[in-house]
Structure 1
Amino acid sequence: MSVEPTSLLRLEKTSLREQALTALRKAITSGQIPPSTHLVETELSEALQISRGTLREAMRQLQQEGLISAGARGRLSVRHLDTKEIRDVFHVRAALESLAARELAARPDRTEAVATLRSAVDDMDRWAASNLEDRIEADLRFHRTMCQLTGNLTLLHQWTSLEGSIRMSIMFAGVDRAIKNMNAKRHHDIVDAIESGDTAKAAEAVIDHMAGAADTLVTA
């Protein structure tokens, strides 16, 4: 059986696209490329050592994720989230994660899920003395895990599509305010509510958590 050379080239191109996508996503969500920065194709393709075509493919994905947006004449810039947009992101998070909490609380066999979530909170404690990026990862891992444990792939997909905007919201706030939202006790409260088996209480715990988190991020 012969192998078509074009198929191997396609794999290589896909790999380059994914590497470029990962590098750009990290630079944007970490603040290395600040909000409102105009993205110049020639500069980025040279810096990443990829073709402009491969770069455009990566940037189309970043547009879909809400990390960059097109302005006048189609010029692409890093998206700047204002306070309303941040609150909108957290309202949608509250809807998704309260559904996850409700589903987990309704399970008669929720013991294992609760143990997994407590372990995720313990990880947050372990990273408490680390840098902001590690703490953000530990925090998001807790919330992502809660969605994963439901087994609802649509729910998880929708949450994942918000992840870029969530990271940008956290960076928007600055270190001090961001860290306030990573308090382990606030996350244990969610797990306690899930463990109780009271679905309304579990959903309310998440909604309160997200409202408080949004307030912390946008209140000067």
Structure 2
Amino acid sequence: MTESNEKELEKARRLIQGVKNNPSVATRIAPVYGETDIDAGISLLELTTESFAKQKKEQHESEAKSQELDNALDEIDTFHKRLRKMGRYMSEANSPESKACNFRGEIPTNFAEWKPYVAQTFNGLKANTDLLTKVSAFGTSAEEIDTYIDKLNEVDTMQIDSNRESAEAQMATVNKGELMRDLKKHASKLRACLDIFYEGNEKQELEKLGITVK
């Protein structure tokens, strides 16, 4: 079973920092794996650790924006469907006002078509004062419709924000993956080096220092 990235990161951390913090080990492998290599490993470890935190943060922000958008769309959709029910009750099936307000027919599921369709219901009902008066008997009002018109107009901005956060989360995920691959490659090379310098029972000395070669 493949280890999680978090476990791989922790293994690399123990290995790289273990060598960095033990001068006797660093001195022994210095002819092949010198101070420059150790510092490069530490730097890569730090960058990878930061990438984990950044990816987690970006993913959280992306999910929050997506949920905010979904909640807004659900709220508008619920109000729109309620208005349509009121309108159907107060208008004839093939009447001009029914057609002007989209009271009947299938609601589009594609956002590009759904938004103007909903806007037509809101604006059409507001423009028909007689029908609006009838519908107000169910408890709605021009002011409430205005509120939802504003909410509908805000959706475009919310969608742009959501798409931006999603793109940033994807970029953070890609960056994390690239750094993790580089770190695993570096750690693998360091383990191979230690495996040559420390053979047999000597490997136990490394384990006492918290350095695992396996």
Q: TM-score, normalised by structure 1?
A: 0.30
Q: TM-score, normalised by structure 2?
A: 0.30
Question: Which one has a larger percent helix, Structure 1 or Structure 2?
Answer: 2
